[in-house]
Structure 1
Amino acid sequence: MDRSITAMLLLTLTALCACQSKIEKQQKAAKPKQAPPHTTVVQNKKEQPAHTAKMTFVKYIDDGDYFQLIARKGDSTFSFINETDPSRSLNRGDQIQITWKDGTVTMPGDNDVEAPAQLLRYVKKISDGPVSVFRKVYGKKLKYTWPTDEHFTSSYLDKLYMQTEYYLSKTTNPLLQLAIKNQDQLTYSIESRERNNHNYKVIGIAPIGTNGANVVQWLYIGDEEDDQIYEYDLPEDRLVPFD
């Protein structure tokens, strides 16, 4: 009797093991194969050669999507993406040696579309331009005033200051030349004015003397003409482009 029970138990265990083995094989067969990990293929663009040239510095532009350095060579104007000249030490008219590479930048808000750009790599001042010379010769800060109802930002006032300074560095007005030579204090007023359906900022430059300040030169700076400077010819009532 005991032998019969033992035999039956062995048969049952054997059958269970066989079933378990079959189930495991079926589960292994049914399990899908894992896909290989996703990889991104990065294609390295061909390294672009560097370009070097001597140019005339114009200005920095720091209020856009990218910092820019603007320079001129002959009649051509160049815009460089500027991430290598944080000093902002150049003045308009300085002669510079500049090195750049052709590349691309991503345009924000435009589905990350890439646009061709000239990427600044190195810039060095070769010689002083008129503004740098003016600062060394004159050695004073200009003073200025504007109406209380005008709400100019500090960056815009700085922009007008540099344009006025540039004019003074190249002026042929004999009264201003004498004031600069004698290091007399110069001041200027700022006001907005419309002329022939164009908007201008009008700058009145005056040396400060014992009898106060009398304007000896009026400038018109075009709001809509990339900041073109004009001398105002009072006898002829006309604007003369100044460069």
Structure 2
Amino acid sequence: MGPAKERVGPTIDATLDEYATTHAGQLPTVREVWETLLDDHDITVSYGTVHRYMSSHPLKNPGTLINHAEPTTGNHLASAQQTFHAAVFKQYRALLTAIRREPARHGLDGTFATATAFVLGLDAGSNWHMLAGFQEWLVVRHGTGHNLTWPILVRHLAPGGWVHPLTQPTDTAAVTTLHQLLSEFFDAREQPDGLGRIFKSYQSWLRTQAWYQFETVEPDQIG
């Protein structure tokens, strides 16, 4: 285990235990743990390090929603994963399609800001399962931006790239891009081991980054 993992491992373990205690046995996502380290413990560590550490513990890896044929007794993660089944996923897709076609009927004004807020609300309502892997999928799609949130990545991927502030045409284009990317992401998620493949692609992308390679080098390998 590298020095970065040794440094953050105990804090991650404590974070997982505390979260499970206060959330009926459920576990936080990799992003939630990463943000907790940054915000609550003032620990500067890359997202990739947190993801690798949690990935090494199958029962502590909320970033991989792999369906199991039968839940394992006491495995809260497996139980939580199974609740987000295909029928529920289709309901979210149907709702997002309705939002895209008639935003006003759902209290939205058709702007990127309100569309993003609505999607974030849906994701929160699914205990952050609905968009698990979306940011990573977008990073691979964009080829950069591991430190950006998914709404920012969507705007970078919109026609013409990043534009700020949004004008009416670019706002409309961003909304269209958001729905298009969500649809493609959901298609990828619904494939056999779809989410696992998404994270594997992201991990492969990470290995091509110079900063990632530097962090994984042990001290005795430097110089």
TM (norm. structure 2) is: 0.25
Larger strand share, 1 or 2:
1
More helix by share: 2
Q: Which has more radius of gyration?
A: 1
Structure with the larger RCO, 1 or 2 (CA within 8 Å, 6+ apart): 2
> TM-score normalized by structure 1?
0.24
